[in-house]
Structure 1
Amino acid sequence: MSLAARLMRALTDPDFALEDGHLDLSQVSEEELGSLLVAAYRVDASATHAMTMARFAVEDAAGERQPRYTPDACRRMFEALVEKCEKRGWADLTLGLGALERCTGPLPDVSEPARTLVGFWLEKDTVRQPYALLAVAGLAGDGTLRAAVERLSRDVGPIVADEIAVIAGLAPAEQALLSEIARDHRFDSPLAHAWRRSADNPAYVAFARRALEAAADRTDAIRVGEIPYRADKAFTDREITSLGQALRVALLRDEPWLPELFERLLPGVALAPTAAKSLPSQALLYEVVRAAQDFPTPELVTAIRTVRRTVRHAGVPKQLDKMLKKVDAALAERTDVALRLPRLEFDTASVSGSAAGGVLRRTAGDYQAVVMVTETATLTWEKEGRPLRSVPAPVRRDHAALVKELRDLVKRVNAQLVTLLRALEGGFAVEAVHSYGWWRTELAGHPLARTLVRRLIWEIEVAPGEWRAVLPEAEEHLPDAPDDASVRLWHPLRSDPHAVRAWRGLLTERCIRQPFKQAFREIYLLTPAEERTRVYSNRFAAHIVHYRKMFALFRARGWKSDLLGPWDDGDGDEAERTLAAGEWRVRFFHTWADWAGDDELASTDQVRFDRRVEGVWREAPLADVPPLVFSEAMRDVDLFVGVTSIAADPDWTDGGRERTYWERAGFAELTESAEARRDVLERVLPRLKIAGRCTVDGRFLIVRGDLRTYKIHLGSANILMEPDDSYLCIVPARRSGDGKVFLPFEDDRLSLILSKAFLLAADTEITDESILTQIKRGA
């Protein structure tokens, strides 16, 4: 008996025994999987162990693959939905519509069960899945569709009624496509591919604009008193859901009329027309920010931050700040729009030097404010051209609003620069390419972006397939090239080792500090071990890490993960991040391990990759992952482990398996990130005053002091002392490094290593008794 037949028997026969263990459904066809899914949907909570096990196996396989349905399976799916409604009071209508969409033959007549389903829902006070209900009603006939439209349009207001009418007028196939965004709850957002389907529907796109403009008109009317103000009552819950969906469609399409709409709608929902601290619609404001988390644009982020500064309710800014962290991370991933920076009245004409950034000047009485953008934006004050150390007292007294405005501007510019850098760096995985004319004006010549962009290495396609690498900061003039020539960021993975070494040497010699690690960027190539394991990597498995610190890094780097802990289903998760414009996904498995005092520990496991195929994630062999996608994903995982491993904790004293791991990993072979650290160290050491006391030997920086010789591990920064390799514990101060050593990129671990090297090279001058006691014990 085939596996498909055994599974069907297990799902339908309570007396059939199915062997325990992992069920591999890879050999089950997509049509067989569709029929099995129908049977699995009929399995309820009272089923036998074998039935439940088969159901979970089928549902898991359906989540990874795209089931297909015979006409008979489609009909049986609708019958199963009717059974669910009768037994449990609810059924997922999108399952029936999905079955019809992926039907392998002529569509069956499902009008009778469709009519039953619609009748069941129309009798309820609250209608869930309204879009799907309309699509099902269309299958039942015109009379049923009219009844559904009338019921769904009742007491919902003109915005929702307009939406219902638009959807009712679509063809059944288009209704089914839109049903994927019919959310039961506005806090849950469907996958991006469902929104893309909606964004391709002209009728729904037209509705989206009408709905959002109608919402702005309503807030305008509240502001001028045409509509009485009631706190948080400007829109109903149903309207907020519809407006949120309309906004996502418009944001996904990056509609040009949106920025002007934001200027009306956001203040309209956030500021009462009276002096009240309440909002016309706090719920819609939060829904707008949730939409920005899905499909952000620079203009919407700016509008949200503007409103955040003016809203009167004490709790709202705090909530917006939390939500904006996710918005900023999402904008950095949306590389097609994140590079669109406003100029904000900054100018470069009055600033000399090829690498000069933007400058903005404002007059305040006898004084002048100067906002200058170099690596970051800074605010200074001048009088008659002479710089002042602080804000002049007359300015603080007479121009307080201007001071606040400029300080907010500095924060805003700095936030935009952070987003720009994240977007540029995120462009590696999608191999983002720009036209030379646009790049020259909007990036290399932009008053806010130019100082960052010019310190990065770029490649210009001077002939088909022939790329020339340039570092604008080291060039007297930008290269001549046609406006339509292609430009992309240089990546060491695409370059030969000789060229990589040359770029690293140039940066070091000229003391050019890159805004993020590029020339010294680590590259990760497939290893023989990963070729053997084929679909997963154990390269970063079996590490013990500080869990909360790693969880924070997940969020900071745009990864999604559930919080783990000692509770049900809190023992393990897979952090994930989408790459290459949503075409690839990386998953990093980890499990909650234990407490260490007040700290929480986790252990790391496999890394796997999935490719999106027909809207569904399918696991892919590592060899099929594009090299840049693989390298950038593994670089993130290396960062998570390297920064949070307990091996890098200098005062770890706990025993047990954690101590064994600490002793092994704290002085282990170097990872790719530590290898890059060693390369930098070899280049900067000759420039240091302690150069004569330092050598790089394998995985260690050897420092010769007067009392002892020290070996600083280039991965963990842990220290061993010769001649007996005894451990030296030095807990770093809050400020590491001596602040004067040039590094071509920011690296906290390298700064820590150098600070320890400076300390130990002059070990006779150490005054800390805890350090001296350890050194003298075996000297």
Structure 2
Amino acid sequence: MQSRRPVPEQATRLAALRAFCDRALDDYPELSRHDEFELDFWDGIDFLRIADDWVRQHPQDGPKALADGFVFPTVWDDLEDRRDQQRYGLQYRLCDAWITAHPDAYALEQIGARLQHMLQFAFEDSDYPLPTDEDSPAYYRRSPDQAWAFPDVQACINRLSHYPSTPAWQTFAEWLLDGSWNRVQPPSPPDEEQRKVADAYIYVHKEIQRIALGLLEADRLDYPRFVRAANTWGRAMMFYSDDTGLDSDDVDLNQYADEAFDEGTSDDEAPEDEGIDDESPQSDDIPSEEPVAVHPILASFTVRYVEDALAGLPDNAEKLADTFRLVEVYQSRWLLQALAVIERLGMTPDDFDSFGDTAAVLQCFLLLQDLPRTQSAELRAALSGFSRNTLLTALPYAGQASRVVLDALGWSDLQAFQREYLNMALAPRSGWGSDLPNTPDETVGVVDRYLLDKALAEADPDHLREYLAALEPSHWAFPETRVLLDAYQGIGRPALEKKLTRHAQPAMRIYGVLPVTGPDDVRQRYLTLKKLHKEVRKYGAQRQANSHAAVQAGLENLARVAGYPSAIRLEWAMESEIAESALTAATIDGYDITLVIDGLSPTLHICKAGKTLKSAPPAIRKHADFVALKTQQAQLKEQIARFCRTLEAMMSSGETLALDDLKPLLKMPAVHLLLEQLIVQADDAALGWLDAATLTVTDLEGRQHVAEKNLRIAHPFHLFTAGQLSAWQKEVVNHRRVQPFKQAFRELYLLTPAERDTGLWSNRFAGHRLKGKVAARLLQVRNWSTSSVEDIYYESKEHGIYALFNFLDTGHYLSETEHFTFDTIAFYRDQKAMPLEQVPPLLFSEIMRDADLLVSVAHAADSYSTSNETLQRRTELVGELIQGLGLRNVKCEGHFLHITGQRANYRIHLGSAAIHIEPGNYLCIVPAGSSLTEFYLPFADTDKKMAEVLSKMFLLLDDMNITDSQILEQIQRSG
């Protein structure tokens, strides 16, 4: 077995260097200030200064010792203790700093010898003994990039690439590029591709290019040597330039070197990372380089190599597939050369992919990135020399030339269709993939009917059939988009509806494009999509968000098919139809059943002989009319819930309704009822209650205002700015109104002085610790995007503004993070942070309300305190209820409710609902679940904590009638 060990002279120098490093750990303050080395301990230490001290002490052998110390690594397992590990870590860094700053001939000789040894004996030796017993057959010998301690192959090549171009350097560089050492790695499974030693080193592109340029400048790089180097180092030897029409989207892989090293390191090697950082080529000692122009000779060599490689296909296709994997072509001549290969090999659309690596290479050169229209005619003439099969094979891969390929095939009539086909399939607005991907983007899969109809009208049916058949084996097959096209033409409805039962998201988007088949078809499909929207709530946050977007896209498609201007107008029309066609009463065997809306709940009233029954007798429950009424009751309940959400969203956004849009809505009893319980604003002026029959608004003084143009559901901000918020709260309570959602008592969030000072962000909820799963669920329900913890955002389409919640301590997914910390809130427009003072007040208030809700529901800390805005609304509500109900012996002061009972005096905190018997004894009362709905609240979306406060208030006001022994014992003990 080959082994490279220091000769006696080198061993002597290394022993002295080790002794110096051991002393340095104590003598240099910057090295001795920590007992345990931290991860960033080495940062900021001037290793070159310490190395200079060593050389001054050993002027004769000092420089050689530093070169020896770099190329003869210590076996990690031989290090005895932590001190020994620290000493070796220092030694390696001193040596590296010195040879980088002083690239002398001896260091060049030693680095070259080490590199030559590693490459030549990749499978016979390792300077660091690696375990192989459990990895038979010898895993590390199959992965030479992981087989050595520092410096590894990459580090040695990096140092050499910066050395002066001396004759000795040039000789070694020739050997390195020629690749005579580049043997095939032992395969693992017999069917695995045959990889060579150089294939393991994918992070040395810049270094190999510097070495090649150095040889060229020394006039020692001719084309045959360039070919050998390209066959060895692949992409590293490709010198693409703009004037040759070749480029690459390859990234600087050096930046990932550390990650790759960590992934491949075994548990046995793990300690080594603690002592020595992986030496990436772009170390602090080597300045980063600006991109430079490609040398014209190297560019010409590259072009010649590419031409020869294409002409030589399919030989060596496996190697070329990696070499050209990221090439980009900008001149049509490369497309024509690829077509010539397809023609020569007799490739067809059906068997193109079976050519494996050859096909992969050709795809790169077919994908023309740019084609000025002035060159289209010239390319069209050149394409006429190729067979129909060749053009069909190339069509899906031709990039910007695909339209010219269509012309050459005689299919100019398909230009518009191809554009629409790709627009639908590639979802260019979403950035989430292709072929109707699962995405929160509601525009994916929505069809522009005018353009698609026009494209289909222009397309010759025979051409279209041949075109789609030719794409079938290619990456342009797009099966979901094909289903969409079929559905658009009324094909495949049963199969599509079967997919809906499995909640397939592409099917949800496509379902709306089916042609209308009957008078009730649109309504039934509308109800199906609404049902799907409800059913997918059982899934996780990400799938739920994607599914809701798919349903919305389906509704938008359905609206366009049915002739409505938008999905919201479709919804209103369908809900109106449902209301108008509803069965509201029936008489069955002497029983009179009527569907009425009691409060906000649809209820069946059942009477016989003037007597009201509590429930339906079994005799009528299976009757068709009773079943129809029950179905209508369920639909009406869902309708009320849907319009509650719609109207609340309209209030939150400040949206106005034109009277022409409002009148059809008011035909629905549910909407009629909901709107008459809300404070509205007519024509941006008068605030009051709506009379749906006369379209008049009655203000606080009883004056009536006729709505002439539009109507808006008033936001608390509107009431506040009008100076009427408190008055409307009194009005709601005095008339015992139950609003469908919080309006008069809705939390209002105004800009604080601190937020005016910070300017671009709010710290209002910073520092709160939250539960990940609860927070993710709540955000999703509130229509926040939670697909990435980097971007927790809400999009206001009305304003083109994004609100962002910034969280700390999150994992990859919010729902998988146990706990995280709320940080800041910011707003963006056109990707620029907005000053908070410029954010529309309604949007600001609603975003802050979401944040407050998030903190109050998902908080993880026992010390959580309710926000001032929430406490203020509860204080106002309790105050109005006390006055409105004429309650005595109770008053509200600050954030507490004070109650004078007969047994004791009590106070209840409005935030926590905690009770204390004055002066200070805690009273524990656990509310019963049923008590939360027994007390009047002026809104239907019950504030459970507020209901708990009220239930405790009424209990303690009548404390003489308390019978619970545990409560009585606490009260008596406090006295």
TM interval, short-chain normalised: 0.5 to 0.7
> Aligned residue for 1:493?
717
Task: Tell me the TM-score normalised to structure 1 length.
Answer: 0.62
Moved more, 700-709 or 202-211: 202-211
- The whole-number CA distance in structure 1 between the counterparts of 2:486 and 2:207 is 47
Say if 1:359 and 1:370, in contact at 8 Å, map to a contact too: no
Partner of 2:871: 674
Label 1:371 to 1:291 Cα distance change in 2 as closer, same or farther (>3 A). farther
> In the alignment, is residue 605 of structure 1 matched against residue 822 of structure 2?
yes
Deviations 1:714-739 (A, max 9, x none): 12222334213x44343332123471
Looking at structure 2, the residues matched to 765 and 612 of structure 1 have their Cα atoms a distance apart, in angstroms, of: 60
User: Does residue 420 in structure 1 map to residue 651 in structure 2?
Assistant: no
Match of 1:471 in 2: 689
Are residues 1:433 and 2:665 paired?
Answer: no
Contact 1:183 1:190 in 2 (8 A): no
SS at match of 1:586: strand
Q: Could you list the per-position Cα deviations for residues 644-703 of structure 1 after superposition, in whole angstroms to 9, with x for gaps in the alignment?
A: 335xxxxxxxxxxx44x24xx2xx6x52122111111101113447x3221111111112
The C-alpha deviation readout for 1:321-354, integer Å capped at 9, x for no partner, is 7588976798699756554442346459xxxxxx
Q: Name the structure 2 match of 1:705.
A: 901
Contact conserved, 1:708 with 1:722, CA < 8 A, in 2? yes
CA distance in structure 2 between the aligned counterparts of 1:148 and 1:367, rounded to whole angstroms:
76
Corresponding position: 1:459 with 2:681: yes
Per the TM alignment, residue 115 of structure 1 is displaced from its structure 2 partner at its CA by: 7.0
Instruction: Check conservation: 2:770, 2:858, Cα contact below 8 A.
Output: yes
2:848 to 624, 634, 637: 634
Pairing 1:269–2:474 present: no
Question: Which of residues 593, 604, 610 in structure 2 aligns to 1:379?
Answer: 604
Structure 2 match to 1:586: 803
Q: How far did 1:468 drift? A: 1.9
Cα deviation, residue 206, structure 1: 5.0
Q: Compared with structure 1, are the counterparts of its residues 762 and 267 closer, same or farther at alpha carbon in structure 2 (3 Å cutoff)?
A: farther
Q: 1:756 to 1:381 in 2, by over 3 A?
A: same
2:965 and 2:810 map into 1 onto residues whose CA distance is: 35
CA distance in 1, matches of 2:412, 2:608: 59
Separation in 2, partners of 1:190, 1:246: 24
Within the alignment, does 1:204 sit opposite 2:452 as a pair?
Answer: yes
Q: In the TM superposition, what are the counterparts of 1:113-512 in structure 2 within 5 Å?
A: 123-124=352-353, 143=383, 165=414, 169-170=418-419, 179-180=428-429, 183-184=433-434, 186-189=436-439, 191=441, 199=448, 202-204=450-452, 206=454, 238-243=478-483, 268-269=494-495, 279=498, 286-289=505-508, 303=525, 305-306=527-528, 338-344=571-577, 346=579, 360-364=584-588, 366-374=590-598, 375-383=600-608, 387-399=612-624, 402-439=625-662, 441-461=663-683, 467-472=685-690, 478=696, 485-495=709-719, 496=721, 498-512=723-737
Residue 534 (structure 1) aligned with residue 759 (structure 2):
yes
* Contact map agreement 2:500 2:507 (CA 8 A) in 1: no
Residue 649 of structure 2 aligns to a residue in which SS?
Answer: helix
Asked if 1 retains the 8 angstrom alpha-carbon contact of 2:794 and 2:804, the reply is yes
Deviation digits for residues 421-448 of structure 1 (CA, Å, limit 9, x no counterpart)? 2122112344312212331x22334223
Q: Post-superposition shift, 1:574?
A: 5.2
Q: Identity, % of aligned pairs? A: 21
Query: 1:43 corresponds to which residue?
Result: 252
Residues 301, 327 of structure 1: 8 Å contact kept = no
Q: Secondary structure at the match of 2:670?
A: coil
Query: 1:383 offset after TM fit, Å?
Result: 4.6
Deviates most, 425-434 or 283-292: 283-292
CA distance 1:438–1:397, shift in 2 (3 Å): closer
Partners of 1:359 and 1:447 within 8 A in 2: no
Q: 2 CA distance for matches of 1:46 and 1:417?
A: 57
Aligned residue pair count: 597
- 2:685 partner SS: strand
Q: How many angstroms apart in 1 are the aligned matches of 2:933 and 2:670?
A: 30
Q: State the match for 2:332 in structure 1.
A: 111
Q: Deviations over 1:529-577 (max 9, x none)?
A: 11222222111122234543333322322223259xxxxxxxx665322
Match of 1:557 among 770, 776, 782: 782
Aligned-residue CA RMSD in angstroms?
5.6
Structure with larger Rg = 2
Q: Distance in 2 between matches of 1:115 and 1:324?
A: 47
Q: How far did 1:471 drift?
A: 0.8
How far apart, CA to CA, are the structure 1 residues paired with 2:690 and 2:897? 34
Equivalent position to 2:927, from 732, 744, 749: 732
Deviation at 1:203, TM superposition (A): 2.9
Contact 2:795 2:803 in 1 (8 A): yes
Distance change >3 Å, CA 171–CA 752, structure 1 → 2: closer
Give the letter aligned to residue 669 of structure 2.
Answer: P
Q: Is the 8 A contact 2:725 2:744 kept in 1?
A: yes
SS in 2 for 1:434: strand
Distance in 1, Cα, partners of 2:737 & 2:846: 23
Q: Secondary structure at the match of 2:888?
A: helix
Change (3 A) 1:516 1:607: farther
Task: Letter of the 2:878 partner, please give it.
Answer: L
Displacement, 1:306?
Answer: 4.5
Q: Which letter maps to 2:637?
A: N
C-alpha distance in structure 2 between counterparts of 1:209 and 1:557, whole Å: 43
Normalized against structure 2, the TM-score is what? 0.51
Distance 2:876 2:636 in 1: 33
Deviations 1:287-307 (A, max 9, x none): 23356899xxx9979526549
Preserved contact between residue 359 and residue 373 of structure 1 (Cα < 8 Å) = no
Q: Which amino acid aligns with 1:44?
A: L
Distance 1:308 1:497 in 2: 38
Tell me how far 1:625 sits from its aligned partner: 1.6
Secondary structure of the corresponding residue to residue 931 of structure 2: coil
Partner deviation per Cα, 1:471-493 (whole Å, 9 max, x = no partner): 12599863699997122221231
2:927 counterpart letter in structure 1: P
Shift of 1:753: 0.6
* Inter-CA distance 618–287: structure 2 relative to 1 (3 Å threshold): same
Which of 918, 938, 946 pairs up with 1:743? 938
- Residue 87 of structure 1 corresponds to which residue in structure 2? 322
Among candidates 872, 880, 885, match of residue 683 of structure 1: 880
* Change in CA separation of 1:318 and 1:517 when aligned onto 2, cut-off 3 Å: closer
Residue identity matched to 1:425: E
Match of 1:518 among 743, 754, 757: 743
Q: 1:267 to 1:363 in 2, by over 3 A?
A: farther
- 1:694 corresponds to 2:890: yes
Structure 1 residues 370, 335: CA separation in 2 closer, same or farther (over 3 Å shift)? same
Deviations 1:719-775 (A, max 9, x none): 334213x44343332123471435355322211110111223334544445544544
Deviation at 1:610, TM superposition (A): 3.9
| Per-residue deviation, residues 101-125 of structure 1 (Å, max 9, x unmatched) | xxxxxxx954356778999997436
Structure 1 window deviating more from structure 2 (171-180 vs 603-612): it is 171-180
Long gaps (5+) in structure 2: 1-202, 209-246, 262-293, 304-309, 311-317, 398-410, 460-475, 514-519, 556-565, 698-703
